[in-house]
Amino acid sequence: MKMYKGFIIPYTILLFSISLTGFSQDSTIFQPQGKVFARIFTNFHSELSESEHQSAFEVTRAYLGYESEMHKNFSGIVKIDIGKPDDGGQNSSFRQYAYFKNAGVTYKNGKFICRFGLIDTKQFTIQEKIWGHRYLFKSFQDEYKFGVKADMGTIVEYRFNSVLDADLSVMNGEGYKKLQLDNSFRTGLGFNFYPSAGWIIRLYFDYSEKAVVQNSFVTFIGYKNKRLVAGLEYNYETNFEFVDNQNIMGYSAYVSYDINDRFQLFGRYDRLYSNILPNEEFSWHYDNDGSTIIGGVQFSPIKQIKIAVNYQGWHPISNDISSRSYLYINMGINF
């Protein structure tokens, strides 16, 4: 019976939320509508190290989906994600897998929103939007496996006023590529504050339990005006991948500036590190701790296409591991 709690809890939240808010009533005749959409991430890159000069063309991601406005209060989405697997195994760079990334429904009524199904999580959605360059590099938590972009479950959001909104999520916890049922959930609570025009502050905490308890703590501050966008986030996760006392943390700072309607300058700095276990000289994640530096210029010939010439570098903490630097030409296509 325990395995069915993975369905019972989200269904209960969804039905209870709808019963409390009811349906919006007005005399306007609603016309259902829908649209097909697609996103493609592709690049050419060349390594800049003295010993290696590997170059390649890639299509790293492709999304194909359909969104439908079924009712004034209800909408749905189905999205397929085609990309490289994350297992890091032999020849993984040459394989392409297809997954259902989204297959869910959204209920909206005034200040209240409830999402159910295989849906995007709220853990780092805002940070990814402020970063604004997912087509060339993932946001911090996504890149370093602090969480997943989409998962099975339900999310309830409520806008209290112009200054504060909150979200509560109960998710499977495994991500959209691993939809197995078990008795473990990832429960998250987030608050968004809007102190003044252009500013947002987000606080987020989540809890999940298997052999040990895992917690995530996220603090984010972002700013956006007509030309300038900037964000700073700090992330801390205890018992990473449910291994006792292996904690991982880090921060990411990013900024972009629109020179005009077509050209933009952007940059980003990540710092990833981990704790030192008892009787150890180095941190447990030492070989994978380090810094990422990204900088470049973006050109948008039309709204649906973005092209970026940029530098991407990884600089490990360990002196025994060489830094890696790349020149990238990335393209993001939306239609």
Look at residue 161 and tell me if it is in a domain: yes
Mean pLDDT of all residues in 78-82:
95
Percent of the chain with pLDDT over 90: 79
SS3 95: coil
Instruction: Inform me whether the pLDDT recorded for 50 exceeds 90.
Output: no
Instruction: Inform me whether the pLDDT recorded for 299 exceeds 70.
Output: yes
- pTM check: above 0.85: yes
Q: Which two structure tokens, joined as six digits, stand for 149? A: 């972009």
Chain segment 116-164, per-residue pLDDT in tens: 999 999 999 999 999 999 999 999 999 999 999 999 999 999 999 999 9
Note the pLDDT of residue 136. 97
Look at residue 30 and tell me if it is in a domain: no
Instruction: Inform me whether the pLDDT recorded for 180 exceeds 80.
Output: no
Note the pLDDT of residue 9. 58
pLDDT band at 90, cuts 50/70/90?
Answer: very low
Average the pLDDT over each of 42-46, 94-98, 160-164, 313-317 and give the range with the smallest value. 94-98
Size of the chain, expressed as the number of residues it contains: 335
Note the pLDDT of residue 177. 79
Q: Which of 221, 162, 159, 166 is nearest to 192 (CA)?
A: 166
Q: Report the CATH number that the domain containing residue 86 is assigned in CATH.
A: 2.40.160.10
Instruction: Inform me whether the pLDDT recorded for 100 exceeds 80.
Output: yes
Element holding 169 (H helix, E strand)? strand 164-171
- Separation between Cα atoms, residue 167 and residue 186, nearest integer Å: 14
Look at residue 33 and tell me if it is in a domain: no
SS3 140: helix
Domains identified in the chain, total number:
1
Look at residue 173 and tell me if it is in a domain: yes
Look at residue 195 and tell me if it is in a domain: yes
Instruction: Inform me whether the pLDDT recorded for 40 exceeds 60.
Output: yes
Instruction: Inform me whether the pLDDT recorded for 10 exceeds 80.
Output: no
Average the pLDDT over each of 94-103, 218-227, 256-265 and give the range with the smallest value. 94-103
Handedness of CA 6, 73, 64, 299 (dihedral sign): negative
Note the pLDDT of residue 24. 52
Look at residue 27 and tell me if it is in a domain: no
**Number of Cβ atoms within 10 Å of the Cβ of 309:** 12
Note the pLDDT of residue 53. 74
Mean pLDDT of all residues in 285-294:
97
Chain segment 218-247, per-residue pLDDT in tens: 999 999 999 999 999 999 999 999 999 999
Q: Which two structure tokens, joined as six digits, stand for 101? A: 């990334």
Note the pLDDT of residue 305. 98
**Number of Cβ atoms within 10 Å of the Cβ of 192:** 19
Instruction: Inform me whether the pLDDT recorded for 6 exceeds 80.
Output: no
Instruction: Inform me whether the pLDDT recorded for 49 exceeds 90.
Output: no
Look at residue 272 and tell me if it is in a domain: yes
* DSSP-assigned states of every residue in 194-242: --STTEEEEEEEEEEESSSEEEEEEEEEEEE-SSEEEEEEEEEESSGGG
Domain that holds residue 88: 2-21+38-334
Instruction: Inform me whether the pLDDT recorded for 92 exceeds 90.
Output: no
Look at residue 269 and tell me if it is in a domain: yes
Instruction: Inform me whether the pLDDT recorded for 57 exceeds 90.
Output: yes
